[in-house]
Amino acid sequence: MGWGDLGAFGEPSKETPNLDQMAAEGMLFLDFYTANPLCSPSRAALLTGRLPVRNGFYTTNGHARNAYTPQDIVGGIPDSELLLPELLKKAGYVNKIIGKWHLGHRPQFHPLKHGFDEWFGSPNCHFGPYDNRERPNIPVYRDWEMIGRYYEDFKIDLKTGEANLTQLYLQEALDFISKQQASQQPFFLYWAIDATHAPVYASKQFLGTSQRGLYGDAVREIDDSVGKILNHLQQLGISENTFVFFTSDNGAALISAPTQGGSNGPFLCGKQTTFEGGMREPAIAWWPGHIPAGGVSHQLGNVMDLFSTSLSLAGLQPPSDRQIDGIDLLPVILQGKLIDRPIFYYRGNELMAVRAGLYKAHYWTWSNSWEEHGKGIDFCPGQSVSGVTTHTQEEHTYLPLLFHLGRDPGEKFPL
Protein backbone atom coordinates (compact mmCIF):
# COMPACT_ATOMS: atom_id res chain seq x y z
CA MET A 1 0.00 0.00 0.00
CA GLY A 2 1.27 3.47 -0.85
CA TRP A 3 1.55 6.75 1.05
CA GLY A 4 -1.13 8.27 -1.16
CA ASP A 5 -3.70 5.48 -0.83
CA LEU A 6 -5.53 6.93 2.20
CA GLY A 7 -7.89 9.89 2.34
CA ALA A 8 -5.99 11.19 5.38
CA PHE A 9 -2.93 11.49 3.14
CA GLY A 10 -4.81 13.25 0.36
CA GLU A 11 -6.25 10.46 -1.83
CA PRO A 12 -9.03 12.31 -3.69
CA SER A 13 -11.72 9.63 -3.79
CA LYS A 14 -11.90 9.58 0.05
CA GLU A 15 -12.69 5.86 0.19
CA THR A 16 -10.94 5.08 3.50
CA PRO A 17 -13.30 6.55 6.13
CA ASN A 18 -12.22 4.18 8.90
CA LEU A 19 -8.49 4.77 8.52
CA ASP A 20 -9.18 8.48 8.16
CA GLN A 21 -11.16 8.33 11.42
CA MET A 22 -8.32 6.40 13.02
CA ALA A 23 -6.01 9.27 12.03
CA ALA A 24 -8.48 11.87 13.36
CA GLU A 25 -8.58 10.06 16.72
CA GLY A 26 -4.85 9.37 16.84
CA MET A 27 -1.60 10.58 15.29
CA LEU A 28 -0.64 10.77 11.64
CA PHE A 29 3.04 10.21 10.76
CA LEU A 30 3.90 12.01 7.54
CA ASP A 31 7.58 11.00 7.45
CA PHE A 32 7.44 7.30 8.26
CA TYR A 33 9.59 4.78 6.38
CA THR A 34 10.10 1.10 5.84
CA ALA A 35 13.60 -0.37 6.24
CA ASN A 36 13.67 -1.76 2.70
CA PRO A 37 11.56 -1.29 -0.43
CA LEU A 38 10.63 -4.98 -0.61
CA CYS A 39 8.45 -7.29 1.50
CA SER A 40 10.75 -9.79 3.23
CA PRO A 41 13.55 -7.54 4.52
CA SER A 42 11.12 -4.88 5.73
CA ARG A 43 9.16 -7.49 7.72
CA ALA A 44 12.37 -8.88 9.19
CA ALA A 45 13.37 -5.35 10.20
CA LEU A 46 9.99 -4.69 11.82
CA LEU A 47 10.18 -7.84 13.96
CA THR A 48 13.88 -7.53 14.90
CA GLY A 49 14.30 -3.75 15.17
CA ARG A 50 17.40 -4.10 13.01
CA LEU A 51 18.44 -3.06 9.53
CA PRO A 52 18.32 -5.85 6.95
CA VAL A 53 22.12 -5.83 6.64
CA ARG A 54 22.26 -6.75 10.34
CA ASN A 55 19.45 -9.33 10.53
CA GLY A 56 20.58 -11.22 7.42
CA PHE A 57 17.64 -10.41 5.14
CA TYR A 58 19.49 -8.98 2.18
CA THR A 59 21.36 -10.44 -0.76
CA THR A 60 24.92 -10.08 -2.01
CA ASN A 61 24.50 -12.01 -5.24
CA GLY A 62 23.98 -8.84 -7.27
CA HIS A 63 24.86 -5.23 -6.55
CA ALA A 64 21.90 -3.31 -5.12
CA ARG A 65 19.42 -6.16 -5.60
CA ASN A 66 16.70 -6.95 -3.10
CA ALA A 67 16.23 -9.89 -0.75
CA TYR A 68 13.06 -11.96 -0.92
CA THR A 69 11.86 -15.50 -0.18
CA PRO A 70 9.81 -17.17 -2.91
CA GLN A 71 9.02 -20.82 -2.35
CA ASP A 72 12.11 -22.02 -4.22
CA ILE A 73 14.52 -20.21 -1.88
CA VAL A 74 15.42 -22.24 1.20
CA GLY A 75 16.66 -19.47 3.52
CA GLY A 76 14.84 -17.62 6.28
CA ILE A 77 15.14 -15.65 9.50
CA PRO A 78 18.28 -16.71 11.43
CA ASP A 79 17.92 -18.40 14.82
CA SER A 80 20.35 -15.82 16.21
CA GLU A 81 17.80 -13.04 15.72
CA LEU A 82 15.46 -12.17 18.59
CA LEU A 83 12.00 -11.36 17.28
CA LEU A 84 9.51 -9.07 19.01
CA PRO A 85 7.08 -11.88 20.00
CA GLU A 86 9.93 -13.86 21.58
CA LEU A 87 10.70 -10.92 23.83
CA LEU A 88 7.05 -10.08 24.58
CA LYS A 89 6.61 -13.60 25.93
CA LYS A 90 8.75 -12.50 28.89
CA ALA A 91 5.98 -10.08 29.84
CA GLY A 92 3.29 -12.73 29.50
CA TYR A 93 1.98 -11.80 26.07
CA VAL A 94 0.18 -14.22 23.77
CA ASN A 95 1.31 -13.58 20.19
CA LYS A 96 -0.49 -14.24 16.91
CA ILE A 97 0.37 -13.61 13.28
CA ILE A 98 -2.46 -13.46 10.75
CA GLY A 99 -1.58 -13.40 7.07
CA LYS A 100 1.77 -13.23 5.34
CA TRP A 101 4.92 -14.35 7.21
CA HIS A 102 7.51 -14.16 4.39
CA LEU A 103 10.54 -14.94 6.57
CA GLY A 104 11.15 -18.46 5.34
CA HIS A 105 8.99 -21.51 4.63
CA ARG A 106 11.17 -24.36 5.89
CA PRO A 107 10.25 -25.88 9.29
CA GLN A 108 13.08 -24.16 11.16
CA PHE A 109 11.74 -20.76 10.08
CA HIS A 110 8.14 -21.37 11.12
CA PRO A 111 6.70 -18.39 13.08
CA LEU A 112 5.79 -20.63 16.02
CA LYS A 113 9.52 -21.33 16.38
CA HIS A 114 10.18 -17.60 16.63
CA GLY A 115 7.87 -16.45 19.40
CA PHE A 116 4.39 -16.61 17.92
CA ASP A 117 1.84 -18.81 19.68
CA GLU A 118 -0.69 -18.89 16.83
CA TRP A 119 -0.65 -18.46 13.07
CA PHE A 120 -3.30 -18.33 10.41
CA GLY A 121 -1.86 -17.49 7.03
CA SER A 122 0.86 -18.32 4.57
CA PRO A 123 4.65 -18.25 4.41
CA ASN A 124 4.45 -16.26 1.19
CA CYS A 125 2.12 -14.16 -0.93
CA HIS A 126 -0.76 -15.53 -2.99
CA PHE A 127 1.14 -16.04 -6.23
CA GLY A 128 0.00 -18.69 -8.68
CA PRO A 129 -1.74 -20.83 -9.59
CA TYR A 130 1.03 -23.31 -10.28
CA ASP A 131 1.06 -26.79 -11.75
CA ASN A 132 1.32 -28.51 -8.34
CA ARG A 133 3.95 -30.91 -9.67
CA GLU A 134 7.12 -29.05 -10.45
CA ARG A 135 5.91 -26.05 -8.45
CA PRO A 136 3.00 -26.55 -6.04
CA ASN A 137 0.58 -23.85 -5.00
CA ILE A 138 1.53 -21.93 -1.87
CA PRO A 139 0.25 -23.45 1.42
CA VAL A 140 -1.94 -21.88 4.09
CA TYR A 141 -1.36 -22.81 7.74
CA ARG A 142 -3.24 -22.90 10.99
CA ASP A 143 -0.48 -23.05 13.56
CA TRP A 144 1.68 -26.09 12.65
CA GLU A 145 -0.82 -27.71 10.29
CA MET A 146 -1.09 -26.98 6.58
CA ILE A 147 -4.83 -26.68 6.00
CA GLY A 148 -4.87 -26.03 2.27
CA ARG A 149 -3.36 -24.11 -0.62
CA TYR A 150 -4.11 -20.90 -2.45
CA TYR A 151 -6.26 -21.37 -5.58
CA GLU A 152 -7.39 -24.80 -4.32
CA ASP A 153 -8.87 -24.77 -0.83
CA PHE A 154 -8.59 -20.96 -0.67
CA LYS A 155 -10.07 -19.69 -3.89
CA ILE A 156 -8.77 -16.69 -5.78
CA ASP A 157 -10.45 -15.80 -9.06
CA LEU A 158 -7.84 -14.10 -11.22
CA LYS A 159 -10.46 -13.02 -13.77
CA THR A 160 -12.73 -11.19 -11.34
CA GLY A 161 -10.30 -10.63 -8.45
CA GLU A 162 -12.71 -12.25 -6.00
CA ALA A 163 -11.31 -13.90 -2.88
CA ASN A 164 -12.59 -13.90 0.70
CA LEU A 165 -9.13 -14.02 2.32
CA THR A 166 -9.39 -10.59 3.95
CA GLN A 167 -12.70 -11.62 5.56
CA LEU A 168 -11.06 -14.78 6.89
CA TYR A 169 -8.18 -12.73 8.28
CA LEU A 170 -10.60 -10.24 9.83
CA GLN A 171 -12.60 -12.94 11.62
CA GLU A 172 -9.38 -14.51 12.90
CA ALA A 173 -8.39 -11.15 14.37
CA LEU A 174 -11.76 -10.54 16.04
CA ASP A 175 -11.85 -14.05 17.51
CA PHE A 176 -8.29 -13.79 18.84
CA ILE A 177 -8.94 -10.43 20.48
CA SER A 178 -12.15 -11.71 22.08
CA LYS A 179 -10.40 -14.80 23.41
CA GLN A 180 -7.56 -12.83 25.01
CA GLN A 181 -9.91 -10.25 26.49
CA ALA A 182 -12.05 -12.99 28.04
CA SER A 183 -8.99 -14.50 29.72
CA GLN A 184 -7.53 -11.09 30.67
CA GLN A 185 -4.42 -11.98 28.72
CA PRO A 186 -2.12 -9.33 27.23
CA PHE A 187 -1.67 -9.94 23.52
CA PHE A 188 0.32 -8.95 20.45
CA LEU A 189 -1.49 -9.27 17.12
CA TYR A 190 0.48 -8.92 13.87
CA TRP A 191 -2.23 -8.52 11.22
CA ALA A 192 -0.27 -8.91 7.98
CA ILE A 193 -2.89 -8.95 5.23
CA ASP A 194 -1.84 -8.81 1.55
CA ALA A 195 -4.93 -7.94 -0.52
CA THR A 196 -3.24 -4.99 -2.24
CA HIS A 197 -0.29 -7.11 -3.36
CA ALA A 198 -0.69 -8.16 -7.00
CA PRO A 199 -2.63 -10.20 -7.95
CA VAL A 200 -5.00 -7.87 -6.10
CA TYR A 201 -8.16 -9.37 -4.60
CA ALA A 202 -11.29 -8.37 -2.69
CA SER A 203 -14.40 -10.07 -1.32
CA LYS A 204 -17.57 -10.16 -3.40
CA GLN A 205 -19.31 -7.42 -1.42
CA PHE A 206 -16.47 -4.98 -2.18
CA LEU A 207 -15.90 -5.79 -5.86
CA GLY A 208 -16.82 -2.90 -8.12
CA THR A 209 -17.42 -0.45 -5.26
CA SER A 210 -14.38 1.80 -5.75
CA GLN A 211 -13.67 4.57 -8.23
CA ARG A 212 -10.14 3.19 -8.33
CA GLY A 213 -10.99 -0.23 -9.73
CA LEU A 214 -9.97 -3.55 -8.19
CA TYR A 215 -7.06 -2.06 -6.25
CA GLY A 216 -9.45 0.46 -4.69
CA ASP A 217 -11.86 -2.37 -3.85
CA ALA A 218 -9.06 -4.08 -1.92
CA VAL A 219 -8.15 -0.87 -0.10
CA ARG A 220 -11.82 -0.33 0.83
CA GLU A 221 -12.02 -3.83 2.29
CA ILE A 222 -8.86 -3.32 4.32
CA ASP A 223 -10.24 0.01 5.55
CA ASP A 224 -13.54 -1.63 6.53
CA SER A 225 -11.67 -4.40 8.35
CA VAL A 226 -9.52 -1.97 10.33
CA GLY A 227 -12.68 -0.14 11.33
CA LYS A 228 -14.25 -3.37 12.57
CA ILE A 229 -11.12 -4.26 14.59
CA LEU A 230 -10.98 -0.84 16.27
CA ASN A 231 -14.71 -0.94 16.97
CA HIS A 232 -14.32 -4.41 18.47
CA LEU A 233 -11.64 -3.15 20.85
CA GLN A 234 -13.98 -0.35 21.92
CA GLN A 235 -16.96 -2.65 22.40
CA LEU A 236 -14.86 -4.97 24.57
CA GLY A 237 -13.76 -2.00 26.66
CA ILE A 238 -10.05 -2.50 26.03
CA SER A 239 -9.30 0.25 23.50
CA GLU A 240 -7.60 2.42 26.15
CA ASN A 241 -5.33 -0.51 26.99
CA THR A 242 -4.49 -1.36 23.38
CA PHE A 243 -1.90 0.41 21.22
CA VAL A 244 -2.63 0.06 17.50
CA PHE A 245 -0.33 1.04 14.65
CA PHE A 246 -1.17 0.91 10.93
CA THR A 247 1.48 1.02 8.22
CA SER A 248 2.78 -0.82 5.13
CA ASP A 249 5.87 -2.87 4.36
CA ASN A 250 6.80 -0.92 1.20
CA GLY A 251 5.44 1.63 -1.21
CA ALA A 252 2.79 0.82 -3.78
CA ALA A 253 4.07 -1.39 -6.59
CA LEU A 254 3.86 0.76 -9.71
CA ILE A 255 5.11 -2.20 -11.73
CA SER A 256 1.48 -3.40 -11.73
CA ALA A 257 -0.01 0.02 -12.47
CA PRO A 258 -2.43 1.27 -13.56
CA THR A 259 -4.92 -1.57 -13.11
CA GLN A 260 -3.42 -3.07 -9.93
CA GLY A 261 -1.08 -0.32 -8.75
CA GLY A 262 -1.59 2.01 -5.81
CA SER A 263 -0.67 5.62 -5.17
CA ASN A 264 2.52 6.94 -3.62
CA GLY A 265 1.16 10.47 -3.57
CA PRO A 266 3.66 13.15 -4.66
CA PHE A 267 6.64 10.84 -4.28
CA LEU A 268 8.94 9.40 -6.94
CA CYS A 269 8.68 5.80 -8.16
CA GLY A 270 7.47 2.89 -6.03
CA LYS A 271 8.18 -0.49 -4.50
CA GLN A 272 11.65 -1.95 -5.12
CA THR A 273 13.28 1.49 -5.36
CA THR A 274 14.90 3.70 -2.71
CA PHE A 275 13.17 6.81 -3.96
CA GLU A 276 10.53 8.21 -1.61
CA GLY A 277 7.69 6.33 -3.32
CA GLY A 278 9.35 3.02 -2.53
CA MET A 279 10.03 3.57 1.15
CA ARG A 280 7.86 6.34 2.65
CA GLU A 281 4.70 4.74 4.07
CA PRO A 282 1.31 5.72 5.40
CA ALA A 283 1.42 5.45 9.20
CA ILE A 284 -1.15 6.02 11.94
CA ALA A 285 -0.85 5.51 15.71
CA TRP A 286 -4.08 5.01 17.70
CA TRP A 287 -4.46 4.71 21.47
CA PRO A 288 -7.61 6.35 22.89
CA GLY A 289 -7.11 8.14 26.17
CA HIS A 290 -3.36 8.37 25.64
CA ILE A 291 -2.63 9.81 22.19
CA PRO A 292 -4.11 13.31 21.73
CA ALA A 293 -6.65 13.22 18.89
CA GLY A 294 -5.78 14.82 15.58
CA GLY A 295 -2.03 14.77 16.08
CA VAL A 296 0.33 15.13 13.12
CA SER A 297 4.01 14.30 13.51
CA HIS A 298 6.98 15.04 11.28
CA GLN A 299 9.17 12.65 13.25
CA LEU A 300 11.39 10.58 10.96
CA GLY A 301 10.05 7.12 11.81
CA ASN A 302 10.80 3.60 10.62
CA VAL A 303 9.09 0.22 10.92
CA MET A 304 12.06 -0.83 13.10
CA ASP A 305 10.81 1.65 15.71
CA LEU A 306 7.72 -0.50 16.28
CA PHE A 307 10.05 -3.11 17.81
CA SER A 308 11.52 -0.70 20.37
CA THR A 309 8.22 1.08 21.00
CA SER A 310 6.37 -2.17 21.64
CA LEU A 311 9.00 -3.34 24.11
CA SER A 312 8.77 -0.01 25.90
CA LEU A 313 4.98 -0.34 26.14
CA ALA A 314 5.42 -3.80 27.67
CA GLY A 315 7.97 -2.53 30.19
CA LEU A 316 10.84 -4.40 28.55
CA GLN A 317 14.32 -3.33 27.51
CA PRO A 318 15.71 -4.04 24.03
CA PRO A 319 18.42 -6.73 23.86
CA SER A 320 21.79 -5.32 24.90
CA ASP A 321 23.93 -7.87 23.05
CA ARG A 322 23.28 -6.49 19.56
CA GLN A 323 22.80 -3.26 17.67
CA ILE A 324 19.15 -2.17 17.66
CA ASP A 325 18.34 0.39 14.97
CA GLY A 326 14.75 1.17 15.97
CA ILE A 327 14.00 3.96 18.46
CA ASP A 328 11.26 4.27 21.09
CA LEU A 329 8.55 6.51 19.63
CA LEU A 330 6.57 6.91 22.86
CA PRO A 331 7.99 10.40 23.62
CA VAL A 332 6.93 11.41 20.10
CA ILE A 333 3.47 9.87 20.33
CA LEU A 334 2.60 10.87 23.89
CA GLN A 335 4.49 14.14 24.33
CA GLY A 336 4.88 15.47 20.79
CA LYS A 337 8.67 15.42 20.92
CA LEU A 338 10.97 15.19 17.90
CA ILE A 339 14.00 12.90 18.03
CA ASP A 340 16.95 13.64 15.78
CA ARG A 341 17.81 10.54 13.77
CA PRO A 342 18.71 9.63 10.17
CA ILE A 343 16.86 7.36 7.75
CA PHE A 344 18.95 4.85 5.79
CA TYR A 345 17.75 3.65 2.40
CA TYR A 346 19.19 0.21 1.66
CA ARG A 347 18.69 -1.92 -1.40
CA GLY A 348 20.28 -5.31 -1.00
CA ASN A 349 23.51 -4.69 0.91
CA GLU A 350 24.07 -1.27 -0.66
CA LEU A 351 23.42 1.98 1.18
CA MET A 352 21.67 3.87 -1.62
CA ALA A 353 20.70 7.07 0.20
CA VAL A 354 20.44 8.80 3.59
CA ARG A 355 17.94 11.32 4.92
CA ALA A 356 18.89 13.81 7.64
CA GLY A 357 16.27 16.39 8.50
CA LEU A 358 14.70 17.59 5.25
CA TYR A 359 17.72 16.69 3.15
CA LYS A 360 18.21 13.43 1.30
CA ALA A 361 21.49 12.41 -0.34
CA HIS A 362 21.59 9.68 -2.98
CA TYR A 363 24.91 7.82 -3.19
CA TRP A 364 23.56 5.45 -5.82
CA THR A 365 20.60 5.78 -8.17
CA TRP A 366 18.82 2.98 -9.96
CA SER A 367 15.25 2.08 -10.81
CA ASN A 368 15.50 -1.16 -12.79
CA SER A 369 17.60 -2.49 -15.64
CA TRP A 370 17.31 -1.59 -19.31
CA GLU A 371 16.77 -5.29 -19.97
CA GLU A 372 13.70 -5.37 -17.72
CA HIS A 373 12.54 -2.01 -19.03
CA GLY A 374 12.68 -3.36 -22.56
CA LYS A 375 10.29 -6.13 -21.48
CA GLY A 376 7.77 -3.60 -20.16
CA ILE A 377 8.84 -3.86 -16.50
CA ASP A 378 9.04 -0.34 -15.08
CA PHE A 379 9.35 0.63 -11.40
CA CYS A 380 8.74 4.31 -12.23
CA PRO A 381 6.11 4.41 -15.00
CA GLY A 382 5.47 7.94 -16.23
CA GLN A 383 8.06 9.35 -13.83
CA SER A 384 11.33 9.53 -15.72
CA VAL A 385 13.64 12.15 -14.14
CA SER A 386 16.85 12.62 -16.11
CA GLY A 387 19.94 11.55 -14.16
CA VAL A 388 17.81 10.37 -11.23
CA THR A 389 15.60 7.41 -12.25
CA THR A 390 18.51 5.69 -13.97
CA HIS A 391 18.30 2.27 -15.62
CA THR A 392 21.96 1.59 -14.94
CA GLN A 393 23.37 1.64 -11.43
CA GLU A 394 24.93 5.09 -11.14
CA GLU A 395 27.37 5.95 -8.36
CA HIS A 396 27.30 9.39 -6.76
CA THR A 397 29.52 8.64 -3.78
CA TYR A 398 31.91 11.53 -4.39
CA LEU A 399 29.22 14.05 -5.31
CA PRO A 400 25.91 12.85 -3.90
CA LEU A 401 22.63 13.86 -5.51
CA LEU A 402 21.10 16.10 -2.85
CA PHE A 403 17.39 16.93 -2.52
CA HIS A 404 15.40 19.13 -0.13
CA LEU A 405 12.31 17.01 0.55
CA GLY A 406 10.34 19.92 1.98
CA ARG A 407 10.52 21.94 -1.24
CA ASP A 408 10.87 18.97 -3.57
CA PRO A 409 9.18 15.83 -2.20
CA GLY A 410 9.15 14.31 -5.69
CA GLU A 411 12.98 14.30 -5.94
CA LYS A 412 12.96 16.07 -9.29
CA PHE A 413 15.41 18.92 -8.71
CA PRO A 414 18.87 18.02 -7.34
CA LEU A 415 20.44 20.90 -5.43
Rounded to whole angstroms, the Cα distance separating 282 from 296 reads 12
Determine which one of 39, 125, 269, 380 is catalytic.
Answer: 39
Rounded to whole angstroms, the Cα distance separating 149 from 122 reads 9
Q: Where are the alpha helices (DSSP H) in 34-94?
A: 39-48, 52-55, 84-88
Number of Cβ atoms within 10 Å of the Cβ of 208: 13
**What is the three-class DSSP state of 126?**
coil
Q: Residues 33, 250: contact at Cβ < 8 Å?
A: no
Determine which one of 63, 102, 125, 290 is catalytic.
Answer: 102
Rounded to whole angstroms, the Cα distance separating 167 from 24 reads 25
Q: Residues 266, 257: contact at Cβ < 8 Å?
A: no
Q: Phi and psi (nearest 5°) for 302?
A: -150, 150
Rounded to whole angstroms, the Cα distance separating 53 from 307 reads 17
**Residue 39 catalytic?**
yes
Give me the sign of the Cα torsion angle 61, 62, 64, 68: negative
**Residue 110 catalytic?**
no
**What is the three-class DSSP state of 145?**
strand
**What is the three-class DSSP state of 224?**
helix
Give kind and range of the element (H or E) at residue 17.
Answer: helix 17-25
Q: Residues 98, 122: contact at Cβ < 8 Å?
A: no
Q: Where are the beta strands (DSSP E) in 219-259?
A: 244-246
Q: Residues 65, 348: contact at Cβ < 8 Å?
A: yes
Q: Could you list the active site residues?
A: 39, 102
